Amino acid sequence: MTALLELRGVTVSFDGFRALNDLNLSLQPGDLRAVIGPNGAGKTTFLDVITGKVRPSEGQVLFRGRSLVGISEHRIARLGIGRKFQTPRVYENLTVRRNLELAVSRRSPFALLFGRLDGSAQDRVQHLLRVVGLDPQAQQLAGGLAHGQKQWLEIAMLLAQDPDLLLVDEPVAGLSDEETDRTGQLLRSLAGDHTVIVIEHDMEFIRNLDSPVTVLHEGHVLCEGAMDTVQKDPRVIEVYLGVDDDHQPQP
Amino acid sequence: MLSSSSSGGSLRRWAPWVLIVAASIILPAVLPPFRLNLLGRFLSLGIVALGVDLIWGYTGLLSLGQGIFFALGGYAIGMHLSLNSLEPGQLPEFFGLYGVKELPAFWQPFASPLFTLVALWTIPALVAGVLGYLVFRNRIKGVYFSILTQAALLVFFNFFNGQQRLINGTNGLKTDTARLFGELVGSDAMQRNLFWLTVLLVVAAWLLCRWLTRGRFGDALVAIRDDEPRMRFTGYNPTAYKTLVFTVAGALAGISGALYTVQSGIVSPQYMAVPFSIEMVIWVAVGGRGTLIGAVLGAVLINYARSLISEQLPETWLFVQGALFLLVVTGLPDGLVGWWRQGGLQHLLAMLGRAPRASTYPGLDLDPSVQAEKSSFLSHPPGGEP
Ligand SMILES: Nc1ncnc2c1ncn2[C@@H]1O[C@H](COP(=O)(O)OP(=O)(O)OP(=O)(O)O)[C@@H](O)[C@H]1O
Ligand SMILES: [Mg+2]
């Protein structure tokens, strides 16, 4: 079986500084993968290079065997790659419902002008509003939501887009424990039908995901494996966990 | 209480429209031809302002070069009117001054009224579309976009100024003495008709912009304005959207320029002067960016104020305009219409002591138990005594 996503020897340098350094990683369809690593390890850059925001100076990024290098962001997104950002990014001057409607719509200007949102798309919006518990806020401007609600709206927007590969950057930062649990359940339930990469600092959350973990350090894969094995790896302890055993979620 | 607040809301919404409709019915009857003509000209500027609002207010593209498209529309109609009342074989007069014996090829199609009617908005739209596509594809935005549009404006301005033999250079083209349907363009009767035509086209342009901005397309514009990269990562191509609205704004500017030309009697490179294009942005800012009606109102009110003030005290207008702009930028970020919709008038009246201070829940003021509690609270503030 060909990998859904494969990075081969990817290097990204910013003025000589290597944010990613000979990164290799491969995901099969349906995988759920957690990515951890200290601040500045290159986790966000890793997503940038997949989604076309930055171009690797060396190496290959393959999606279903097809190279993504040099393809513009919106085309990569249309191939079925969706992304949630580290700080929640929603369209603040649109209502919650309209944020979701943009996410389920077809992307061409003419489709938006002349087409109406069909029944199944409307149902999907309604369903997602309920899934993330924002039904009562549907008509409110997204800018007025609380931080956690914005996180969830963005997750809902990602789901509305219905990508094959979901790249989720720090989904539980600023969420309450209960919300964190529900987010974990949601992501786990997506795996199988979707391929999911989750970046987090919250170790408890990662452990509950119960998925293989990739540890990034200085732009390179330090090690891969189950959470328990990874945590015992002396290299990991040295660079990451050893520093601060009960690592807290990012503020 | 609910019904009263919602009727207050719709009053706030519709009052500007009531004002406009009433004005366009009453004013032609009461205004002398000179004033009516001024109003018609300023209304036609409302159309270019709608375009500015579309690209700047909704999509975040601050163009300082809308004068290009405005002038192109004006020249299209100006060329037609220079040609349409000539005897066969005759040339527009100015060509004689420069010894031009034959009509330049690009003039010829403008002899056709139909061609002109189409060209006066498609040519500006096309120029805007091509310029926009090149700029947006290269992801030029923000200040760089503004500077670039202003540079393009200067290029067009200098080119038109220098082309005496093609389009009469600095002098421009006069339209008043031309005839349209056998009537002098500058005549009172014709000007009155042009006023009505302008009113119709302002409404049509407003409806078009409303259609563009109300639905999901408008949402996409706002989303591009607020977070363009995020739109890209969701699969939207902002270049397509921006090029499209910039093209529409170009077409609107062309129509506006043509209407303005026939009502002022001349089109000249002055329409591409730098300050004029900046003023278009000021009209929208003062009227209320992101509110379509604000764009039209801003254009009409500011220009009318300018003509009134300039008649009395010619030197003061620039200061007044500058002060107005500063006032709006600092005090009314959503412009006059935004301020009005947020209940600004009530606040102002309250400040002046004319009306009860706006209270969020008017019902509370009538509820005796609340009043009783309030007065007891006032006489014994909690924690007031040690
Ligand atoms: N556009 C850029 N220009 C220069 N340096 C950059 C750029 N983007 C990222 N970097 C650097 O690359 C390194 C990796 O950054 P990245 O954001 O990928 O880290 P991260 O693992 O996501 O960290 P965090 O946990 O804080 O989110 C950092 O040292 C960062 O300063
Ligand atoms: Mg990061």
Q: Please give the average per-residue pLDDT across B118-136, as a whole number.
A: 98
Inter-chain CB proximity B232 and A74 less than 8 Å: yes
Single pTM value for the model: 0.88
Structure-token match 């004005």, residue found = B23
Q: What is the phi-psi region of residue A33: left when phi exceeds 0, alpha when psi lies from -120 to 50, beta otherwise?
A: beta
Q: How far is the CA of A149 from the centre of ligand 1 (A)?
A: 26
pLDDT at A1 (0 to 100): 62
B1 band by pLDDT with thresholds 50, 70 and 90: very low
Inter-chain CB proximity B230 and A91 less than 8 Å: yes
B2 band by pLDDT with thresholds 50, 70 and 90: very low
Query: What six digits make up the tokens of B82?
Result: 């220079």
pLDDT digits (tens, 9 = 90+) for B141-171: 999 999 999 999 999 999 999 998 999 999 9
Residue A237 has pLDDT above 80, yes or no: yes
**Cβ-based neighbours of B177, under 8 Å, separated by 6 or more:** B184, B185, B186
More confident residue, B13 or B90: B90
Give the residue whose CA is nearest to atom 10 of ligand 1. Answer: A19
Q: Helix and strand tally (H, E) in chain A?
A: 10, 10
Q: Please give the average per-residue pLDDT across A165-184, as a whole number.
A: 91
The Cα B210–Cα B208 span in angstroms is 5
Reference A183, options A162, A164, A202; nearest CA is: A202
pLDDT digits (tens, 9 = 90+) for B249-294: 999 999 999 999 999 999 999 999 999 999 999 999 999 999 999 9
pLDDT at A217 (0 to 100): 92
Inter-chain CB proximity A92 and B226 less than 8 Å: yes
The Cα B267–Cα B172 span in angstroms is 5
User: Where are chain B's structural domains?
Assistant: 1-25, 31-273
Q: C-alpha dihedral over B105, B111, B117, B118, to 10 degrees?
A: -30
Residue A8 has pLDDT above 50, yes or no: yes
Query: What six digits make up the tokens of A48?
Result: 């940038």
Residue A77 with chain B: CB contacts under 8 Å: 232-235
Mutation site for A-interface testing, chosen from B133, B137, B209, B216 by largest number of A Cβ within 10 Å? B216
Average pLDDT, chain B: 87
Q: Please give the average per-residue pLDDT across B357-378, as a whole number.
A: 48
pLDDT at A249 (0 to 100): 44
B312 band by pLDDT with thresholds 50, 70 and 90: confident
Residue A82 has pLDDT above 90, yes or no: yes
Residue A241 has pLDDT above 70, yes or no: no
The Cα B335–Cα B290 span in angstroms is 9
Q: Please give the average per-residue pLDDT across B298-307, as a whole number.
A: 92
Residue B48 has pLDDT above 50, yes or no: yes
Q: Please give the average per-residue pLDDT across B65-74, as a whole number.
A: 98
Looking at the partner chain, which of B215, B227, B235 has a beta carbon nearest the beta carbon of A78? B235
Residue B223 with chain A: CB contacts under 8 Å: 91, 94, 102
pLDDT at A243 (0 to 100): 53
Residue A224 has pLDDT above 60, yes or no: yes
Reference A156, options A201, A101, A203; nearest CA is: A101
The Cα B194–Cα B188 span in angstroms is 10
Angle, CA B149 vertex, CA B201 and CA B230 arms, to 5°: 90
β partners of residue A35:
A199, A214
Reference A146, options A174, A180, A172; nearest CA is: A174
Ligand nearest to the CA of A43: 1
For residue A15, the ligand 1 atom closest to its alpha carbon is: 4
**Cβ-based neighbours of A107, under 8 Å, separated by 6 or more:** A74, A78, B234, B235, B236, B237
Q: How far is the CA of A153 from the centre of ligand 2 (A)?
A: 19
Residue A28 has pLDDT above 80, yes or no: yes
Residue A19 has pLDDT above 50, yes or no: yes
Reference B82, options B68, B69, B70, B96; nearest CA is: B96
* CA-derived radius of gyration, chain B: 25
pLDDT digits (tens, 9 = 90+) for A38-66: 999 999 999 999 999 999 999 999 999 99
pLDDT at B78 (0 to 100): 95
Alpha-carbon distance A97 to nearest alpha carbon in chain B (angstroms): 11
Residue B370 has pLDDT above 80, yes or no: no
B27 band by pLDDT with thresholds 50, 70 and 90: confident
Q: For ligand 1, pick from A11, A14, A50, A250 the residue to mutate: most ligand atoms within 8 Å of CB.
A: A14
Crossing angle for the helix pair B188-214 and B238-264, to the nearest 10 degrees? 170
pLDDT at A127 (0 to 100): 95
Q: With residue A8 as reference, give the H or E element that holds it.
A: strand A5-14
For residue A46, the ligand 1 atom closest to its alpha carbon is: 18
pLDDT digits (tens, 9 = 90+) for B180-200: 887 888 898 899 999 999 999
For residue A14, the ligand 1 atom closest to its alpha carbon is: 4
Query: Helices (DSSP H) in B31-109: which residue ranges?
Result: 33-52, 66-83, 93-97
Q: Please give the average per-residue pLDDT across A88-97, as a whole number.
A: 95
Q: How far is the CA of B234 from the centre of ligand 1 (A)?
A: 22
Give the residue whose CA is nearest to atom 29 of ligand 1. Answer: A40
Whether the CB-CB separation of B289 and B49 falls below 8 Å is answered with no
B178 band by pLDDT with thresholds 50, 70 and 90: confident
Looking at residue B269, its amino acid is: P
B225 band by pLDDT with thresholds 50, 70 and 90: very high
Residue B371 has pLDDT above 60, yes or no: no
The Cα B270–Cα B63 span in angstroms is 18
Q: Please give the average per-residue pLDDT across A125-132, as a whole number.
A: 93
- Characterize A212-228 residue by residue with b for buried, 16 or more Cβ atoms within 10 angstroms of its Cβ, and e for exposed: bbbbbbebbbbebeebe
Q: How far is the CA of B241 from the centre of ligand 1 (A)?
A: 31
Q: Please give the average per-residue pLDDT across B72-87, as a whole number.
A: 93
Residue B215 with chain A: CB contacts under 8 Å: 112-113
Residue A37 has pLDDT above 80, yes or no: yes
Inter-chain CB proximity A51 and B233 less than 8 Å: yes
Inter-chain CB proximity A73 and B217 less than 8 Å: no
pLDDT at B232 (0 to 100): 95
More confident residue, B332 or B245: B245
The predicted complex's ipTM stands at: 0.90
The Cα A248–Cα A172 span in angstroms is 11
Residue B95 has pLDDT above 70, yes or no: yes
The Cα B299–Cα B296 span in angstroms is 5
CB atoms within 10 A of CB B324: 17
Looking at residue B57, its amino acid is: G
